Amino acid sequence: MNELLDNLLERSGKQKLSILLVTIILIAALYYSFLYSPRSDEVAKLADSVEIAQNEKRIKTEKSANLLRLRKDLQQLDADLRKAVAQLPDKGEIAELLSGISAKAQQVGLDVVLFRPRPEAFQEFYAEVPVDITVKGSFHNTVSFFDEVGRLNRLVNIDNIGFKNPTINGERILLETTSVATAFRFLDEAERKKVAEDKAKAAKAKR
């Protein structure tokens, strides 16, 4: 080792510089071969892993956001459905609803002259239940009756309103008010099936 150093020291400055450069190049080559290159591959693998993990996180985050949005939409649809169902009674509840409409007329001071249900009109999933109504009383009480019907938690339309037979009773003017109150109810499965079959038969008959 000492002889190698003596030999190196005896050389000219130019030779010493060349040997130093060669030594640095060798050390750099060894560092690259044994340290940097393996580490570079490892870093590249880690970089790929990080990118994959970030992409998976982004995808899962987007899915999570979509899921929350879908759950919110589903909750809103469920609330809308419950509200719609509440407004449309089923077949067993329609008699109670009609009785309630008649009771409203009496509660505001009207005499119920006529309360006659018409045949139901069937649609795809619901039926219209029209009722001919004639009540007698003051105009104010009649307006109160219509207002009370409009406040029901069930869907009821009142149309074809007419007035007739006005009479004077003291300071009050009494009159008969005719109208058609139309309630709506859900069809059960058997009824919906029959409606669909009837429509199919009617369409076939037209061909």
- pLDDT at residue 188 in the model: 81
Residue 5 has pLDDT above 50, yes or no: no
> Where in the chain are the domains?
1-87, 91-206
- pLDDT at residue 103 in the model: 92
- pLDDT at residue 157 in the model: 86
The residue type at 73? D
Q: What is the pTM assigned to this prediction?
A: 0.57
Which carries the bigger pLDDT value, residue 107 or residue 18?
Answer: 107
Q: Could you tell me if residue 116 is left (phi over 0), alpha (psi between -120 and 50 degrees) or otherwise beta? A: beta
3-state secondary structure of 154: coil
Which carries the bigger pLDDT value, residue 84 or residue 205?
Answer: 205
Residue 182 has pLDDT above 60, yes or no: yes
What average pLDDT does this structure show over 171-196?
86
Place of tokens 């071969």: 33
- pLDDT at residue 116 in the model: 92
What average pLDDT does this structure show over 50-62?
73
Query: Class of 91-206 per CATH?
Result: alpha beta
In order of 4, 13, 15, 21, the CA distances from 25 in angstroms are 19, 18, 15, 6
Instruction: Specify whether the CB–CB gap between 113 and 132 falls below 8 A.
Output: no
Confidence of residue 59 (pLDDT cuts 50, 70, 90): confident
Q: Roughly how many angstroms between the first and final C-alpha of the chain, as a whole number? A: 112
What average pLDDT does this structure show over 24-35?
53
65-69, 106-110, 182-186: segment of lowest average pLDDT: 65-69
- pLDDT at residue 178 in the model: 93
Instruction: Specify whether the CB–CB gap between 179 and 161 falls below 8 A.
Output: yes
Which carries the bigger pLDDT value, residue 46 or residue 147?
Answer: 147
Question: How many Å separate Cα 150 from the centre of its chain?
Answer: 27
- pLDDT at residue 195 in the model: 83
Please choose, from the candidates 91, 105, 82, the residue with its C-alpha nearest in 3D space to the C-alpha of residue 152.
105
